[in-house]
Amino acid sequence: MRAPTSSRPAPAAAEAQPVTTREGVLAVCARAREASRAVRPLTRGDKDRLLLAMADALVAATTDIERANAEDLRAGAESGLASGLLDRLRLDAGRVGAVADALRDLAALPDPVGEVVRGQRLANGLEVRQTRVPMGVVAMVYEARPNVTVDAAGLALKSGNAVVLRGGSAAERTNRALVHVLRRTLEACGLPADAVVLLDGGGREAVRHLMTARGLVDVLIPRGGADLIRTVVEGSTVPVIETGVGNCHVYVDAAADLDKAVAIAVNAKAHRPSVCNAAETLLVHRAAAERFLPLVVPALRDAGVALHGDASVQAAGSAAGVPVTGATDEDWAREYLSLDLAVRVVDSLDDALEHVRRWSSGHTEAIVSEDVAAVRRFVAEVDAAAVMVNASTRFTDGGELGLGAEIGISTQKLHARGPMGLAELTTTTWVVTGDGHVRA
C-alpha cells in the first residue's frame, strides 16, 4: 500500500452513483466483493496507515462536509424531522473531528485478523488452530446518523473487509460527502475505491435488493428504528446480525446510594436522549421512593426531562411542583428518543424484574444498589446485551467499553451480542497443519 498523495482529483470510478435497480445493486455488491480481495491480505500497518490517512482527509474536508450536512439539516427541518433525529443528523466541526478521532482510535487497537481463538497439538501430531479471518463484504443499512458511515467503514477495513453502506435519505448529502473522502483516500493509498461503496438512490427497493445479495454480501447489519430492523430480519436472505431498539431501564433498589442514583438517572436520560442507550424508564423500589423521588424529580425537571409516571410519582411531582403525566402501557413500551422518561414505583426487586422482562428490548438494563445479593440476582436474571451495576446505561458503547468505534449494538444471541467492534466483524478458519498425515 502506497502512502496517500495530495488532494488530486479522483477518477470517476471513485464517486458514488445513484443505484435504482436490482441489477445495479448487485453490481455495486459485486464491485465490493472484488475489492475485498485487496483488503483481506493487508497487514495491520497497512490498515492503520489507511485509517489515519482517512482521519486526516476528513478533517481537511470539514468545510465540504458541513456544507452538505447543512443542506440535509435544512431539508430535515422543512420535512418536520423530530428534534432528536435532527441532533443525530448534525455534523459540525467538533463532531467531524470526533469521527476522525474514532478512526485514529481504531488504528491504535489490535488487529483481530490472525488471532488464534483456540488451538492445540493433537496426540497424532496434528497442529490445530482456529484463527480469526475477515468476513469478506459487510453491508450496513442505517438511518439518520452520518457518523455511522465512517464508523462502519473504519471497522470493516480494520477487520479486513469491504463495506456496502446504505444510509437513510435524511443524511444522503452528508453520506455522499463522507464516502467521497473515504474513497479518494483508498485510491490515494493504492487500494480499490470500491472497498467502501454507498448505495445511493433507489428508495426502499434498493434495500430489498441488498437483502437478497446472498453470495456477494456475507453479513447484513441493520441499525435504526424497529420497523427497519424488523423488515431486514424478516426479509433478508443474507445472514443478518440484528441490532435492537433501546427500551432501557434504570432500577433504583431499596439499598441504593441515593446520590449515585440521582446522578445515574439524570445522566442515563438527559446526557444524549436521542440514542439507543439512553434510559426510557426509571423504576424505584417503594422502600426508597419516599426519600428518592423528592430528589430525582426536580433534578430531572432541571435537566429538561418531561415525566410520565404512576400515581406515586404524580404525587411526588405535585409536592415538588413538577408536572407528571399519567403513564400507560404505551409509555412502558416506548423508546422515546427524547427528553421524556417513564417512572414507576415497584414494590420489590421481583416486581422490577417482572417489569423489565415484560417491556425490555434486551439492550441495556441498570441497577443502582449497594446490596450485593440484589445486584447478583439482577445480573443473573436480566436478559439483556448489557447490564450496568451502579453505572449509567450510556456506557453501552463500543468506545466507552474500550472497543473503539462500534458498528452497532446487537440484541441477538448468536455470534455477536452487545457493542460490535472489530472481533465481531470476523469469522474463523480452522488451520490444520500436519506432516504427511492421512486419516486411518
Domain with 387 in it: 248-395
- Short-list 100, 27, 90, 25, CA closest to 61: 100
The values of phi and psi at residue 336, to 5°, are: -65, -45
411 inside domain: no
* Residue tagged 424505584 (cell numbers): 284
User: Which stretch of DSSP H or E encloses residue 381?
Assistant: helix 372-381
CATH number where 22 lies: 3.40.605.10
> Residue 17 has what pLDDT?
57
> Residue 407 has what pLDDT?
82
400 inside domain: no
Tell me the average pLDDT across 334-347: 96
160 inside domain: yes
CA pair distance 385, 380, nearest whole angstrom? 12
402 inside domain: no
In this predicted structure, the answer to whether residue 12 has a pLDDT above a threshold of 60 is no
The per-residue pLDDT for range 39-56, each reduced to its tens digit, is: 999 999 999 999 999 999
**C-beta of residue 246 within 8 angstroms of C-beta of residue 363:** yes
Same domain, 179 and 256: no
304 sits in the region (left: phi over 0; alpha: psi -120 to 50; else beta) called left
CA pair distance 300, 339, nearest whole angstrom? 9
Same domain, 236 and 254: no
Same domain, 258 and 238: no
- How many domains is the chain built from? 2
Positive/negative CA dihedral, 140, 146, 148, 154: positive
- Short-list 294, 250, 91, 256, CA closest to 181: 91
> Residue 5 has what pLDDT?
54
In this predicted structure, the answer to whether residue 93 has a pLDDT above a threshold of 70 is yes
Same domain, 237 and 105: yes
In this predicted structure, the answer to whether residue 14 has a pLDDT above a threshold of 60 is no
2 inside domain: no
422 inside domain: no
> Residue 215 has what pLDDT?
96
Other residues' Cβ atoms within 10 Å of the Cβ of residue 37: 12
Same domain, 259 and 221: no
Sheet architecture: strand order including 137-142 = 196-198, 162-166, 137-142, 219-223
In this predicted structure, the answer to whether residue 13 has a pLDDT above a threshold of 50 is no
Q: Please state, for a pLDDT cut of 70, what percent of the chain lies above it.
A: 96
Q: What is the largest CA-CA distance in the chain?
A: 83
Same domain, 227 and 300: no
Rounded to the nearest angstrom, the gap between the alpha carbon of residue 112 and the centroid of all alpha carbons in its chain is 19
Same domain, 274 and 197: no
Same domain, 204 and 252: no
Same domain, 234 and 165: yes
CATH number where 350 lies: 3.40.309.10
Tell me the average pLDDT across 296-309: 98
- Short-list 14, 53, 49, CA closest to 31: 14
Other residues' Cβ atoms within 10 Å of the Cβ of residue 6: 5
CA pair distance 293, 295, nearest whole angstrom? 5
